[in-house]
Amino acid sequence: MSVQSLTEAVWDVLSRVNDPEIHKPITELGMVEKVEVDDEGQASVKVLLTISGCPMRNTIEHDVHAALQGVEGITGLDLEFGVMSDQQRDELKTKLRGGVQERVIPFAQADNLTQVLLIASGKGGVGKSSVTVNLAQALAARGKKVGVLDADIYGHSIPPMLGIADADVTGIDDMILPVPVGDMKVISIGMLKQSRDQVIAWRGPILDRALQQFLADVYWGDLDFLLVDLPPGTGDVAMSLGSKLPNAEVIVVTTPQQAAAEVAERAGTMASMVDQKVVGVIENMAYLESTCPHCDQTHRVDLFGTGGGARVSEALTLRLGYDVPLLAEVPLDPAMSASGDAGVPLVQTHADNPAAAALTGLAERLASRKRGLAGRKLNLVVN
Ligand SMILES: Nc1ncnc2c1ncn2[C@@H]1O[C@H](COP(=O)(O)OP(=O)(O)OP(=O)(O)O)[C@@H](O)[C@H]1O
């Protein structure tokens, strides 16, 4: 084969190597600066990283080597890395923003087709983050492109639940790349902290700016779903996201107790005050399935009482004037908590577990919803 055809063959295989964070071919992103092949079939390739010290360098190195191994006539590879110039980075950022120079929130644009689901709760510890990671994983397993935004400023627990507690985010200047976890893209408010034990006490304009950054400066790419883990309660984050994500929908997570149900109603009501639709309620820790030592049968034990989810669903339906259904009842199961600690969602490791099955069933229904642009609010400001 001629040197020219070999060079073309190398470009061709490189066009199938994706940047692990951006999920687009490195050739398309302008990251391949040079491809040369000599008479002996020895290839020299230079790849430009977006930033020096890019955490994905090893993955790219591995993928490029693997890609070239399949090319007949290539006898060896000399792979060199460089770093993009300011101008190259600017071109890349503009390309990623779809040719738009300024930063906008893609999910608030007229042509947005991403379903944004805010996972809310009245109080902490009801399992909001566990629900978020499991729903996200179940949606991704069904081929959906899923982003997870951990906006819980007080208890940002998403990274450890997905096994990325120590992940660093890559920034291309002011553009932030989310951390890839399987087919999901994840970003957490905790990733912006200097150290893990630092406390975030943002309020007002600073919090607002941070949320703006998460939505406009993070390169989310094309997503089918963006799941946002909100802080518990009806605070500043929910208010701020109300104006930033006018078409977001809210799922309220609660537990069976009366007290939890009352505060969950408030969280749902808050969503409607900022004009977001509440799509339904999930009752988590709904019951415990326990095998009786006397009769060896499995019994349902209502540890925390019953009916909290149904109560919230009925109250919100009445208050908001449209149907707010009970979407799922997720049992209490030590496996759920163990999977959170292990950093792998339960739906991935134990699909048959009843808690996992309840959330997978909901993900299936969400995945098959048809949504278009008709009737959607556009974030237009009338002067
Ligand atoms: N169905 C369940 N069965 C057993 N344990 C659960 C279940 N759901 C959640 N947990 C556990 O309960 C604890 C709290 O859950 P999680 O962090 O998801 O709640 P949260 O509402 O997001 O809390 P916070 O608002 O404080 O962040 C975790 O240890 C989690 O593993």
Question: pLDDT tens digits, residue range 92-139?
Answer: 887 877 766 567 888 888 788 899 999 999 888 899 999 999 999 999
Residue of 337, 341, 347 to mutate, ligand 1, most atoms within 8 A of C-beta:
337
Taking the CA of residue 155 as reference, the ligand 1 atom at the shortest distance is 27
Task: Give the mean pLDDT of the chain.
Answer: 85
Ligand 1 centre from 309 Cα, in Å? 16
Distance CA 130, CA 311 (A): 22
Residue ranges of domains in the chain, CATH in brackets: 3-96 (3.30.300.130), 106-367 (3.40.50.300)
Contact 144, 367 (CB under 8 A): yes
Residue 375: pLDDT over 60? no
Q: Tell me the angle at which helices 204-212 and 236-244 cross, rounded to the nearest 10 degrees.
A: 50
| Binding-site residues for ATP | 122-129
φ, ψ dihedrals at 69, nearest 5°? -60, -30
Residue whose Cα lies nearest atom 1 of ligand 1: it is 332
To which H or E segment does residue 103 belong?
A: none
Q: CA separation (Å) from 63 to 24, 47, 55?
A: 13, 12, 14
List, for residues 100-113, the tens digit of each pLDDT value: 656 788 888 878 88
CA triple 250-253-257, angle to 5 deg = 145
Three-class HEC string of 224-240: CEEEEECCCCCCHHHHH
Residue 102 is predicted with a pLDDT of 60
160-174, 191-205, 358-372: segment of lowest average pLDDT: 191-205
Helices assigned H by DSSP within 118-257 = 128-141, 158-161, 204-212, 236-244
202-206, 302-306, 324-328: which has the highest mean pLDDT? 324-328
Per-residue confidence band for 379, with pLDDT thresholds at 50, 70 and 90: very low
Residue of 118, 123, 129 to mutate, ligand 1, most atoms within 8 A of C-beta:
129
Q: Decide which of 149 and 221 is more confident.
A: 149
Residue whose Cα lies nearest atom 19 of ligand 1: it is 127
Nearest to 345 by CA among 143, 159, 144, 177: 159
Residue whose Cα lies nearest atom 14 of ligand 1: it is 125
**Whole-structure pTM value:** 0.78
Per-residue confidence band for 250, with pLDDT thresholds at 50, 70 and 90: very high
**What average pLDDT does range 167-188 have in this prediction?**
84
Ligand 1 centre from 53 Cα, in Å? 35
Q: Decide which of 175 and 146 is more confident.
A: 146
Nearest to 57 by CA among 170, 223, 135: 170
Residue 305 is predicted with a pLDDT of 67
ipTM here: 0.97
Distance CA 186, CA 149 (A): 6
Residue 359 is predicted with a pLDDT of 97
